[in-house]
Amino acid sequence: MAIGATVAKVGTRRGVVSAYVSGESLELVREARRIAGRVTLVGKSGLKAITQLSRARDLENVDLDPGTYVGRSDPPEGLLPLDWDELRLDWEKQQRLHRLDVVRAEGTFVPKGDFDALREAFTKTVDAGAVRVVSLHGWWLHSAGLQDLLVLVRHCDEALGFVLAGLFDPLEAAGAVDGLRELLDEASPTARRVELLRTDLAGIGFAAAGGALGSIGLGTSSRHHGLPLLRQAREAYEQRKGIPRVFVPALLAWKKGTELGALAPFDGAGITNCSCLPCDGRDLLRFDQEYKGNLPAGVREDARAHDLYTVFELAKTVLNSRDPLATWVEECRRAERVALGIHSAYRIDLTVPPSVRAWK
């Protein structure tokens, strides 16, 4: 069964997941949809892919995040605001022209502690029937600002799509996952559509807890709304670009291949041999490499194929279970037991992300 077609059993609230993909490769879009069941495309490249798919009458289980919360809202220098307004895309109109089954408004970013921006995000006009998209700095989920956020959610009538923003993992702070679950509970006491876009494995937990959609990014830049890095952090990021990162199902985490290399003397400690279709028994230790500059295209595509298959197989296991949320929580607990076992046996730290541990 395609994940995007998961049917809830009577009395069990659950959502679906999609693969969050740029539209630069139509082949990847179609492959991601085949495996995940649904794809959420982003921005102008996503709209271009949708136009191509529309011409081919191939738009089933495809939707769009305009992604405008990551771009500039002011006109370029030398262009008058009125001229800029005329040049901007009418994103909602474009989605309706293609008859997409979900239509999303332009998103608004709410920085840390900016209560005026928070109110603006929930009061600006969106077209009737469109999903109101709000990108929230992760701070809002684990601070005193959470209560202000919940009040605005409670008094908002539209369907809601949330994106989480941060330098790295927006859900790593203590209390952030609890805040996300509280946000979902406040937003969906009825049948209102509530989404979590551009996220990581939190999308599985979100859908398991009853969110309509969790859209999981296929790359590091599409697993949250990344904020600008300071110079030192940017330099460190650039140095890491030549090291493959790959999803390790046993740890529910993306790990650098060089981290997994520590397990080579122990035959991967039972967590690196992979039987997924793209790997076909090949060991994840093959990613224990460091390259100068960017990753070679073949290495990047190999890692992405493994990630796509294993992440959405995990999602299918969780969301097709009798009790998706309980299954997800148990998966998180199992990952932590694996990490603790590896540390105990080999004194190697391969930690489970805080945003996974918090689902316990």
Residues 129 and 64 in one domain: yes
pLDDT in tens, 61-98: 999 999 999 875 555 555 555 544 545 789 999 999 99
Task: Tell me how far apart the alpha carbons of residues 193 and 100 are, in angstroms, rounded to a whole number.
Answer: 15
d(CA 18, CA 312): 9
Longest dimension (CA), the chain: 65
> Which tokens is 256 given?
């650098």
Handedness of CA 271, 277, 280, 285 (dihedral sign): negative
Residue type, 41: L
Could you say which residues of the chain have pLDDT below 70? 1-12, 72-87, 229-240
Do the Cβ atoms of 322 and 6 come closer than 8 Å?
no
Q: Do 116 and 208 belong to one domain?
A: yes
pLDDT of the residue at 165:
97
**The pLDDT value given to residue 315:** 98
Q: Looking at 168, 194, 226, which one is the last position of a domain?
A: 226
- Residue 10 and residue 98 in one domain: yes
CATH number at residue 182: 3.20.20
| pLDDT tens, position by position, 202-214 | 999 999 999 999 9
Residues 55 and 127 in one domain: yes
Q: Which residue among 171, 195, 226 closes a domain?
A: 226
Residues 154 and 65 in one domain: yes
8 Å CB contact between 332 and 222: no
Nearest to 100 by CA among 18, 178, 10, 6: 18
30 with 78, same domain: the answer is yes
| Residue that the structure tokens 């928070």 belong to | 118
Q: Which domain holds residue 166?
A: 3-226
The count of structural domains within the chain is 2
Last residue of a domain, one of 226, 254, 280: 226
- Residues 161, 164, 167: CA angle, nearest 5 degrees: 160
Look at residue 77 in the predicted model and tell me its pLDDT. Answer: 59
User: Which residues, 6+ apart, have CB-to-CB distance to 347 below 8 Å?
Assistant: none
Two tokens, residue 48: 């271009």
Q: What are the counts of helices (DSSP H) followed by strands (DSSP E) for the chain? A: 13, 11
